[in-house]
Structure 1
Amino acid sequence: MLNIQNLVDDAKCFETVRALRWPEGVRCVHCASAEINKQGRDPTQPERQKYRCKDCGRWFDDLSETILAGHHQPLRTWVLCLYFMGLNLSNRQIGQELGLHKDDAQRMTQQLREGIESKQSLPVLDGEVEADEVYVVAGHKGNPEAVKKARKGRRRRLKGARGRGTLAKEKPPILGLIQRGGEVVLRMLDNVQQKTIKPIILACVAEGTRFYTDEYDIYARLPAWGYEHHSVCHSRGEYARDEDGDGFHEVHVNTIEGVWSLLRSWLRPHRGISQEHLPMYLSFFQFVHNSRARGKGLLPALLAALIV
């Protein structure tokens, strides 16, 4: 069986890291000084350059102060793991591709997802924004004690309770906000109420933005919060409406509903995600969606987010 790691060069991985991290030349990770000296190589990773800052006198290397530092796996393994995550392979598939135990693969992917989540800045949406919510089944996978406390055994496999879900019912709602032609924001909620959606909307949507939603009454206070609000009534069979008479049906939530279709497909290979880890998966999907790149084109953005 061909080991894909043999096809990746550690030297090129470190060259890429240096180019992304210090495009204008190496700088001290402690004081940002450009006055540094090279101080040999790491004995366990020969391609990993070590440095000493002339100004503050401290030592560092290519991976210092990043989540990729301090691990026994070579850099090429981390880069390949990140690449496979961008292709949306499950943890088990990644472990098989890299020749890793499934637990090691899971720890690596979790650390990388946490890194992407921590480095993402909250986008500011404006112009025309669509809002909607979706419900996914998410229990306490991998935490048997929490399962015992939360519920009795589920007879209908992964099917959740009917109706609008909550975190307590193991069917957490996800609020989605998307700027038409722009970025998306996804957040898991305990439940869908005005008091839970208001802080998210105020934090990431500019005042005066035009909102498009369905008829759900949690959006009724958008005008009071400083937004223009237009809605379609799905219960009456209305899915798009031309409000200004120009022949273009601008009042709809089709864009965010398209995101829900993509999100369901994205979550499916992972065969059930616990509600403890669901926010990480949502954050990673959000990053991929907003990067507007796929495959090899996505890898530089993912790697830069972790090391810059």
Structure 2
Amino acid sequence: MHCDSAVISKQDRDTTQPQRQKYRCSDCGRWFDDLTGTVFAGHHQPLRTWVVCLYFMGLNLSNRQVSHELGLHKDDAQRMTEQLRAGIDSQQVLPELTGEVEADEVYVVAGHKGHPKAVRQQGRQGRRRRLKGARDQGTLAKEKPPILGLIQRGGEVVFHMLENVQQKTIEPLIRTIVTKGTRFYADEYDIYARLPAWGYDHHSVCHSRGE
């Protein structure tokens, strides 16, 4: 983190993960990005990979199975699961996000043909997963649970599995976790259209362009 100075300038984006914005403190000269100070800081895996890893942990897959599903070395998968467990253990209550917050959704097809037993134990029918599915198609009932990620720049990260991607579903979650008046970065998906009416400073971004 920086020295708590309010004089911060936006710099270039991360060269390997263009979704991550870099910043520089004008007082102390320290560089940081959107994930600094979070459980994901200092790791090269994309945020979506972390989300799917967390989902597989919820299915009680072993580290070896997680590494196979994500196409990672088993040591990398083990480090990721250990990091996530440590973050979960330290998170006793939902944080309050403020300042600048980014939102995005990930759609995971529930289960994988290689592990039908693990999926059945969770009460779901096994299907092959993917990181991103078609919007408006993701629901728990259709075995494509949407996961909403809320990231405070330089602060906490919250993931929440949704029943569906509708305004009435995300509104109470956002109101509970994100302080009113917060600058809210989200794309132009219509579920975010009422952010200003809910009391947030909505700034539209285009994730496909690396914003």
Q: TM-score, normalised by structure 1?
A: 0.35
**Structure with greater strand share of residues:** 2
Structure of greater Rg: 1
**Structure with greater helix share of residues:** 1
